[in-house]
Structure 1
């Protein structure tokens, strides 16, 4: 029987325990930043595990930005706290901070979309606009989902994968923040399809190839909801 392409399962609980023990020692200052860690054999003996377990644990610590292996020199401590990845940092960010960056991303994307949109992009935007209108009779969470989907079609029309990835990363924080905003302001009680005119104007500007017009419409729309909350 040929070997499995997945390989054997590693004893990950043991690896996690070893990594956690080493992490505690680093965080506690046992090995200060810049210090070379003991060798794998010494660590394996002190932890009561095999060298392969130590190797995997050190790999996990390196991935967290705590240590760095140097060819022929050993493993050195880089930091006492793990580095947060981008999604984690976004989840902890204040929604108004994320919203300000969203504005920069989307306004530029709208400008590019007006130059680069294809017939397929226009069809997607128009369909998303109609879906947003249909969601006006639904609850706030459903309406927000339709709104974000519409904005995603505009960003996609810019045909810049970095802008698309940035917007995708923002989406979870935006979704939560927008639902909270609608609950707080109650704006949809009197205007269930709030800002529909601005969204339609954005589509018209992109279709017309009016980059500055599209950017201006979007800038105005994005400033409106959070401006009142932040005192702008």
Structure 2
């Protein structure tokens, strides 16, 4: 039996459960075992299993019936109107962030202090290790982006970023749960290049890399019709 690695959490458990579903262990409409049964089978605790089930329910694969349990509803994530609205809202937020962060990255490259750069690198390192759960990934990613904006020395840009970050957090978490997309080394390397440009005081490159990253994220959110989304923002 395949088990979840000890350091893995709910998103890995959700993927393993989905693999079992797609291998045909349960038929559409069939009731699944409870958390206390599935958890030990996948090598995770009850709370982690509950979160994994919630993720698959958010994708339309599982459905909860009050007092009856969890039932299999579909074999693949469902693209519905709610997901479309969510995708549109995130795209609008990303467009605003694109304007803010591309300018902030250029200013951060020109103005950052040693303390600013230390905070940015600390946030980058944290982002690399916080991959266990989707909320932790989103929060660590946001902290890195904010540290760069703060290094711009412009409090208005930081205030604007905080406004969009607060509005986008729950939406990004929902989108990542719908897609089941894991954090990737490539995505981390994209952020490392932005940080390196800031550290090198190359405002033009820092701005261009930030713009390219957020543009690609926005385009993926708008253009992916299969319910997927990039790992981070």
With normalisation by structure 1, the TM-score equals: 0.56
Q: Given the alignment of the two structures, is residue 110 of structure 1 paired with residue 113 of structure 2, yes or no?
A: no
Structure 2 matches for 1:60-139, cutoff 5 A?
Answer: 94-136=89-131, 138-139=132-133
Post-superposition offset of 1:194: 5.7
Q: State the alpha-carbon separation in 2 of the partners of residues 110 and 144 from structure 1.
A: 20
* Superimposed CA distance per residue, residues 32-72 of structure 1 (whole angstroms, 9 cap, x where no aligned partner): xxxxxxxxxxxxxxxxxxxxxxxxxxxxxxxxxxxxxxxxx
Q: Is the 8 A contact 2:95 2:218 kept in 1?
A: no
Residue 230 of structure 1 deviates from its aligned partner by 1.2
Q: 5+ residue gaps in structure 2?
A: 1-87, 225-233
State the distance in 2 between where 1:129 and 1:117 align: 16
The CA distance in 1 between the partners of 2:139 and 2:205, in whole Å, is 25
Which has the larger Rg?
1
Two-structure CA RMSD over aligned residues (Å): 1.8
Higher relative contact order (CA 8 A, sep 6+): 2
CA distance in 2, matches of 1:194, 1:156: 25
- 1:181 and 1:226 map into 2 onto residues whose CA distance is 12
- How many residue pairs match? The answer is 137
Partner SS state of residue 195, structure 1: helix
Say if 1:195 and 1:221, in contact at 8 Å, map to a contact too.
no
Q: By how many angstroms is 1:178 displaced?
A: 1.8
Q: 8 Å contact 1:198–1:218 — kept in the other structure?
A: no
Structure 2: how far apart are the matches of 1:224 and 1:139? 23
Deviation at 1:192, TM superposition (A): 4.3
Structure 1 alignment gaps of length 5 or more? 1-92
CA distance in 2: counterparts of 1:121 and 1:174, whole angstroms: 24
